[in-house]
Structure 1
Amino acid sequence: MTRTDTPSAPDERTTALTLLRYVRETALEKAEGLPDDLAHATPLPTSPLMSVASIVHHLRWNEHYWFEVVIAGGEDRAPWSDEHPDGEFEIAAQMTLDEILTGYRQQITACDAVLAELDLDAVAARTLNDFRPNVRWVVAHLIEETGRHNGHLDILRELADGEVGD
């Protein structure tokens, strides 16, 4: 996979979606090729649910929540609940890395379909704590969130098998 953060055109939409694609592809690249035991390793005693696999699974469900639930107003199918606020991290331990990567790729495709129909100024279907974001804010938020988790993936991948990269 050839990743680039250089947009094909200088407009805001192309720039934002290029950066979103770049951080998504970076997350996938950080996880690909790890055997399941290393993908599920949780080397940080203070973060017993944090593994490469669980972070990618978390990213998948964040995309679902922000694009399909908040923006499009669809049903929240995410595996978290009041009883299990980290449900997506918990169930990732029961899944293979291939299942998680496939799920993330499918989620990206579904979210891109939502995005394709909307202008960046389109307002979300749902209000969150007296804030109704627009598509622009959600895209920026997911770039930030995915980029932050890519830093976690960098560290976990290096601890898992010594692989480093940008």
Structure 2
Amino acid sequence: MTSERPEPPTVSDERTSLESWLDYHRATLALKCAGLDDRQLREPSAPPSPLTLMGLVRHMAEVERGWFRRVLAAEHEAGPIYYSDEDPDGDIHVTEQDTWEEAYATWQAEIAAAREAARGHSLDDRGVHSRDGAEFDLRWIYTHMIEEYARHNGHADLIRERIDGATGD
């Protein structure tokens, strides 16, 4: 895992800006998890909340998969990774058997699949959400993903500070 975080360009076209900010936030979440062991990555933020850094990474793997593969690319066979009807928050509910190695690899695979799903699509291309049939263009998906990461990176910052006092951007 790299500790480098790509800075978004200050002047660019719309797509480059959106992709760069998304990559920045993806790298930020990885940085928040860097240097911790599995036990620390499974440590809840503040009981009774089950939120952990590992759970956030698993959640973001699900979010990447949902928006880019299921909605944009219409890969409806790409079902949930961690959650189920029985445990709709299964991505957040980590156990002693869950490992960072698996969570990180799954998240990175979903990021790669998301990039592949977006490649060749214009920002105006649309996907359909299977839940309600609503259409979302790629521009909206990128913007939503940036918002989703930014919000959860705030959570990750607080969790990391609680674990070992580390703070930062």
Calculate the TM-score normalised by the size of structure 2: 0.89
Q: Which residue matches 1:23?
A: 25
Contact 1:26–1:150 (CA under 8 A) maintained in structure 2: yes
d(CA) in 2 for partners of 1:16, 1:92: 34
Partner residue, 1:85: 88
Equivalent position of 1:61 in the other structure: 62
- Return the alpha-carbon distance in structure 2 between the equivalents of residues 5 and 76 of structure 1: 31
Q: Distance in 2 between matches of 1:35 and 1:140?
A: 32
Q: Over residues 73-106 of structure 1, what are the superposed CA-to-partner deviations in whole Å (9 max), with x where a residue is unaligned? A: 1123213233211011225653211221121111
User: In structure 1, what is the equivalent of residue 109 of structure 2?
Assistant: 106
Shift of the alpha carbon at 1:7? 2.3
Cα distance in 1, alignment partners of residues 160 and 24 from structure 2: 18
SS in 2 for 1:124: strand
Structure 2 residue 124 is matched with structure 1 residue 121 = yes
After superposition, give the CA deviation of every residue in 1:27-80 in whole Å (9 maximum; x if it has no partner): 011112101111101141231x20011011100111001100011111232132
Residue 136 (structure 1) aligned to one of 139, 142, 155: 139
Give the partner amino acid of 1:52.
L
The alpha carbon displacement at 1:131 in A equals 2.0
Name the CA distance, whole Å, in 2 between partners of 1:39 and 1:113: 29
**Is contact 2:72-2:118 (8 Å) kept?**
no
Q: Is the 8 A contact 2:54 2:94 kept in 1?
A: no
SS in 2 for 1:81: coil
Percentage of matched positions with identical amino acids: 33
1:157 matched to 2:160? The reply is: yes
CA contact (8 A) 1:127 1:133 kept: no
Tell me whether 1:96 sits opposite 2:99 in the alignment: yes
Q: TM-score, normalised by structure 1?
A: 0.91
Count of aligned pairs: 165
The two structures, once aligned, show a CA RMSD in angstroms of 1.8
Amino acid of the residue matched to residue 149 of structure 1? Answer: H
Residues 88-131 of structure 1, C-alpha deviation per residue, up to 9 Å, x if partnerless?
A: 12256532112211211111111111111211100104454352
Are the counterparts in 2 of residues 57 and 92 from structure 1 also a CA contact under 8 Å? no
Q: 2 CA distance for matches of 1:21 and 1:68?
A: 17
Unaligned stretches of 5+ residues in structure 2: none
SS in structure 1 at match of 2:93: helix
Work out the CA distance in 2 between the residues paired with 1:66 and 1:140: 11
Residue 111 of structure 2 aligns to a residue whose secondary structure is helix
